[in-house]
A and B are shown apart, each in its own frame.
Chain A
Amino acid sequence: MLFLKSNWAKILSVCILIYVIAGGFLFEVPMLPVIHESIRNIYFHVGMWFSMMFVLALALYHSLAYLRGMRPEDDLKAHIAVKTGLVFGTLGLITGMIWARATWGAFWVNDPKLNGAAVGMLIYLAYLVLRGSVENPLMRSKVAAVYNVFAFVLYFVFVMILPRMAMASIHPGIDGNPALATGDLDPRMQKVFFPAIAGWFLFAWWIFRVYFKVQNFALKIDRYS
């Protein structure tokens, strides 16, 4: 944890991402029908969704911590993590839509995976609306934490189980963990893909920390001024 708080993580993350962006656009990739060069998007699109899940898991962790210890800091962290997750989710949607336009011919197709992503965004936007509409601060924190735990569990049941049972999907990664099984991915792409995931994770963590520090500081200023 100490490592992640130091500057090394940030420098490492930037280095990895520079490598990923350069490598992602320049290195050789296998030429597959339909996808062609757009396969390079995997380094960015998949990275966005993985980072979103990582940050949302962080939000879940802090919501649980809040319910145990009732420290306002944990509530703020959960809130910030959800917001960060939404940013990554939006980017994931945008990169996905560009990719979908290139390969499937439309920005949006009716598909369980895509709809699952949309539902996830709706759930977490509802979380923000919920926070906005409770006035009592203590109650707001508790209600938000409870909803977050509830939503996370139901959402992940939705995303993990439903698309895999019987419903056909044109989105890859239906019968397993998408892109993680080493056999799935061309070895030439693995050497960019795995660093890409690590880089985006570190980057997401960094954004989360910075956002949290700023908000926490703003709260302190409010309190003492």
Chain B
Amino acid sequence: MAQSIIEVRDLTKTFGDKTVVDQLNMTIEEGQLYGFLGPNGSGKTTAIRMMCGLVPLTSGRGTCLGFDIATQAPKIKPLLGYMTQHFSLYRDLTVRENLQFVCKLYGIKDVAGRVTELVKQFAFDNEGRDNQRVGTMSGGWKQRLALACAMAHRPRILLLDEPTAGVDPKAREAFWDILQDIASTGVSVLVSTHYMDEAMRSNRIAYVLYGRLLVDDAPEKVLAAAPLVAAQVPLQEVFRHPHLAHDPRIVRLSQQGNSIRVVARSHEDIGSWVHDLAQHGLHAGTPVDIDVGLEDVFFYLTLQQQGSITQF
């Protein structure tokens, strides 16, 4: 069994009377690419900050690389790479200057050599981007530089807080290629994201809602275990009939061009719902089965947690 790099038990954080992270249990193993999912405000950022010692724990315990996250943060810091939501780069410094600065903070001996390595590894040498000021770079390149900074001191674990937010799909894909490369060298990566396609590229995913962990498994197992089916139904204007759109047989409904995408617990539910449409003067085409996605699973879990089936 692989060695656990981060292990947290009953991790809890409250701000006033609001519980942001609620008894979270997670284990991240060596070389694992761990997707950390959940809607906005679900406690992902706070949980990551607690793991790297940025936010004190209210209760619970945890270790990172064998050190206690509550009391041994100074020992964890040199072994950990962190990337914040807003990238934390200096806009008026060049790529090289940002990298040099971070290397020096981490006490790297051969700063020039390490910076050159990073420039090559992250392809900043193409088109002379290494001497470009960060403020003039696109979001994708800033994101790449922030990752390079987090990797500067060759950490054993990377904690990345929504690193792909606001970045175009091509850059996101390239970013995940790099992450998979990094993980293949034995570095563990915990990455929070909103994008389900990214989650599918993880070795394991955790889904948190209201600070509580709802799912913790390999993405393919999460999908396989989902009690849901999905279908594409040629139909328009269903949303003009709220009672149909909010039918309890339907888990999720979304208009997609000239058809609707329906997620339900069974094919029978979809069939009977489509049949009922005709009684309201809506003429739907024949439903075509499609794949259920992770987003559908999480949507379903969220609704279950909220205690009722509602449309978003």
Chains A and B bind each other: no
A residues whose Cβ falls under 8 Å from a Cβ of B: none
B residues whose Cβ falls under 8 Å from a Cβ of A: none
